[in-house]
Amino acid sequence: MTEGDGSVSFELHGAVYLYQSTGTRAANLDDLLRLIREADAQTLFLHTQMPRLRSSLGEDTPTDDLSAWVSGVVQDREIGERLAFATHTTSPSIEEVRAALVQVLEAVPERTRIERDAPHGGEFEPLRFDAVSVPTGLHVETPEDLVEALGRSDRTVWFHHLIEEPWLSGPGSALVEWVRATGDRKLADALAGEAASGYSVAESRTRILRRWQRSHIGRRVAEASDRGGLERSASGREVVGNLARRLAGRKRP
Amino acid sequence: MSLVTVDTTGPSLAEGYRELAGSESMQMLEALVRRLEGRRLVMVNSTSSGGGVAEILHRLVRLLNELGLPTQWEVMRGDARFYRITKAIHNALHGAPAVLDAEDWEHFHEMNRAAARELALDGDLVMIHDPQPVALAGLRRRPGQTWVWRCHIDLSVAREDCWHMLAPHVAHYDAAVFSHREFVPKLDVKAYLAPPSIDPLSDKNRSLEPEEERALIDPLDLPARKPLIVQVSRFDRLKDPVGVIQAFALARRREDAHLVLAGGSADDDPEGAMVLEEARERAQGRSDVSLLALPPDAHRTINALQRRATIVVQKSLREGFALTVSEALWKERAVIAGAVGGIPLQVIHDRTGVLVRSIEGCAHQMVRLLRSPDLRRRLGRNGEAHVRDLFLLPREARDYLAVFARAAMG
């Protein structure tokens, strides 16, 4: 955050995630259980939350790497689905995710866990990452600036501030705290709620922008109703016109 | 001169990638170029033509210059003996017995010393590609420079005696980059993973006009009205061409289609010729199977075949990365692939394609996909989006710059 003439601006950062090998691998569900128990927070985050950074692939809930491996490579659909569900938590807590994943795999008899294996060459190899923070050069001063900037930013900007930070350096996110400090509690709550929503970043972005537009239009209509008749109807026409243009995907003339 | 002149004619690459990959996906690359402002990058390898690395460098060097990062490409020279030695090193790193003696290694080092005298190597950032010029860092590195070794080779079965001679040179670098986690050896420097990428503007992947596509397909004498199931791969047992024919034969009991196995001519590859013969025997008497031996530069034909395919198969039993999968996904094809190597990174089961582990599983998925155009369309669309995100050339460029940013600036 930087302070200038009394206002505090926030610089948005994206990130490039450079992957590194951990040197470990799982050939069956029993190995996977061991890996999940021993993995550091960053590795578990990478394989359960980073898939949210990818395209949503036509669905709201991205497939995490662990359940994708179990369903697709080991080809145990039932355990895959249960692991996928276990990655959904109510708060951004790696330990909550770990406990839920371990519980699913511990419920499978040890012999079955060993029998459910990958083909030779299809082992699961967990990774870690080195996040290279990249300043975007975008400094925002108001919540309006922020929403406008986020709307056209690289997906990693959302991911870095709203998902990676609360999960790995939390509690909370510096960006959300900044929004709260500007007085926009609703936007701050909405942004904070995306950390553990399980939605892809693309879907989160759509949800936040849609919600923001709705509340913004409501606010402007309410403000307009306080004005005189002529001014009110002109403002009303402008708001409705803007809404119609947005729905039609056109820019303001 | 050892400096390579990169072709800069024609439309801007940056604009081309922005159009195909989306401007958002170029944002981080452009932000990294700004972060590295004031620095110059030098790429070094051992050839300016032929082979995948030279192909990538022609594009990368031009793209980075267009984006504003001054980038040069220098090629180290060697004599015939040097290239024989580096070919033997290449084979040894792929597991073949090494036949290199002390004199060979001395010649290898002498050629690197000569290159160290000849090349400018005056960038702030230097990326050395593959083992041939690996010794340059120890010979020419000066204070303030950041050196990264980019190894494109699969080192998973490297001969210990050969790697033992190269590893001490890698210790002079700030970081090393490998294509796949299985390729990473034990090292004292930071090792990063940068999956390979496809170039959406290359002949193998660019869009084709219907007439051009027809002109490429017609000479292959394939049935015009039948759905095509295509596997593009060299004739290698690990690509399981015979298994693909067996799966197809099972699927044909339920659905009509035509199978195409397209690979290299195998003229200079005795094992390839043997596998091609096995495939021919298995396909004998079948008019619904075509085996195509294509020349190495048949990029546009492969492009057209993949685009014409109803289903693309990559039923490998072992794999490195298998970029043919990304090529097919980029063309919005429904893909059936073996669950090995780098394939599960590209094919997320039932989202971007389907993964199989057996001949019967492959046959089942062939029937399922042949019967379901909606499923094929959905998988194809998702596959294209997945490749756009992760496996196009601008992402590889972005990863390289991020490695330099981390190594040079922390």
ipTM of this predicted complex? 0.89
On the CB side of B228, CA atoms within 13 Å amount to 23
Interface contact B192-A18, CB threshold 8 A: yes
Strand partners, A137: none
Interface contact B405-A134, CB threshold 8 A: yes
Report the chain B residue with the minimal C-alpha distance to residue A69: B344
Mapping DSSP onto H, E and C, the string for chain B reads CCECCCCCCCCCHHHHHHHHHCHHHHHHHHHHHHHCCCCCEEEEECCCCCCHHHHHHHHHHHHHHHHCCCEEEEECCCCHHHHHHHHHHHHHHCCCCCCCCHHHHHHHHHHHHHHHHHCCCCCCEEEEECCCCCCHHHHHCCCCCEEEEEECCCCCCCCHHHHHHHHHHHCCCCEEEECCHHHCCCCCCEEEECCCCECCCCCCCCCCCHHHHHHHHHHHCCCCCCCEEEEECCCCHHHCHHHHHHHHHHHCCCCCCEEEEEEECCCCCHHHHHHHHHHHHHHCCCCCEEEEEECCCCHHHHHHHHHHCCEEEECCCCCCCCHHHHHHHHCCCEEEEECCCCHHHHCCECCCEEEECCHHHHHHHHHHHHHCHHHHHHHHHHHHHHHHHHCEHHHHHHHHHHHHHHHHHC
pLDDT in tens, chain B (410 residues): 589 999 999 999 999 999 998 887 799 999 999 999 999 999 999 998 877 788 889 999 999 999 999 999 999 999 999 999 998 998 899 888 878 999 999 999 999 999 999 999 999 999 999 999 999 999 999 999 999 999 998 898 899 999 999 999 999 999 999 998 888 998 999 999 999 999 999 999 999 999 999 999 999 999 999 999 999 998 988 899 999 999 999 999 999 999 999 997 656 567 788 999 999 999 999 999 999 999 988 999 999 999 999 999 999 998 888 899 999 999 999 999 999 988 999 999 999 999 999 999 999 999 999 999 999 999 999 999 999 999 999 999 999 999 999 999 87
Q: Are the CB atoms for B158 and B95 separated by under 8 Å?
A: yes
Rounded distance, CA B56 to CA A5, Å? 48
The answer to whether residue A251 scores a pLDDT higher than 50 is no
Q: Are the CB atoms for B290 and B275 separated by under 8 Å?
A: no
User: pTM for the complete prediction?
Assistant: 0.88
Query: What pLDDT is recorded for position A234?
Result: 63
For chain B, the first-to-last Cα distance in angstroms comes to 35
Residue A219 C-alpha, separation from nearest chain B C-alpha, in angstroms: 31
Instruction: For chain A, give the mean pLDDT.
Output: 87
Report the chain A residue with the minimal C-alpha distance to residue B177: A20
Residue B230 C-alpha, separation from nearest chain A C-alpha, in angstroms: 22
Interface contact A58-B35, CB threshold 8 A: no
Report the chain A residue with the minimal C-alpha distance to residue B185: A23
Tell me the two tokens of residue B79. 């004599």
Rounded distance, CA B244 to CA B232, Å? 11
The tens digit of pLDDT for each residue in A217-240 reads 666 666 666 655 556 556 556 655
